[in-house]
Amino acid sequence: MQIRRLLTALTAALVTSAAAISGDLYARVNELMIPKMDVEDMPITEVFEFLRKESKRLDPDHAGVNFFFKLRPGQKETVMQREVTMSFAKLSLAEVIRYVCMAADLNYTIEDRAVIIADVKTPLSKMETRYYRVKAGVFDAKKTRKSVPRFDLDDDDN
């Protein structure tokens, strides 16, 4: 009986620590509060480096938040040279990321291990578009449905 309790407690501890390690990054980004950020004409690479260091400093586990730039080869020079000017006090890291991306004409998504930053023209969602050929009139119910015999369950003819 004690072994069963011990195994249950150990399993619960492992699941909890695995969730913390895999990190619910979305929660961490929303919970971390940046006390002050005041930048003027700072390149976005430096802005995100500042946010990475601040998130590591402010995080109780010192895990911080990683940022990854997803850029096509031709975009790298133009996107990395974009500069932002802004001043904030007591905002969540999620809000700061959102405002920086809006100011620099960027898009972002929060994944399991990092915040992915890309140009607004680069799709970040995992949505896939598929096209299917269908015959004309397939959605016209009167033409495509076969008549189905109707059964009334209320009949007591038995």
Domain count across the chain? 1
Residue 29 lies in a domain: yes
Residue 3 lies in a domain: no
Please give the pLDDT value at position 8.
55
Residue 41 lies in a domain: yes
Residue 38 lies in a domain: yes
Q: Which residues on neighbouring strands pair with residue 109, listed in sequence order? A: 116
Q: How much is the pTM?
A: 0.63
Beta-carbon count within 10 A of 97 CB: 24
Residue 18 lies in a domain: no
Stretch (H or E) spanning 45: helix 44-58
pLDDT tens for the chain, residues 1 to 158: 566 554 455 455 444 443 344 348 889 999 999 999 999 999 999 999 999 999 999 999 888 899 999 888 877 888 888 899 999 899 999 999 999 999 998 999 998 889 999 888 777 777 677 888 877 777 766 655 666 566 666 655 55
Q: Domain range holding 111?
A: 25-119
Tell me how far apart the terminal alpha carbons of the chain are, to the nearest angstrom.
58
Residue 89 lies in a domain: yes
Residue 40 lies in a domain: yes
- What is the CATH classification number for the domain harbouring 76? 3.55.50.30
Residue 142 lies in a domain: no
In 3D space, the residue among 61, 54, 51, 52 whose CA is nearest the CA of residue 24 turns out to be 61
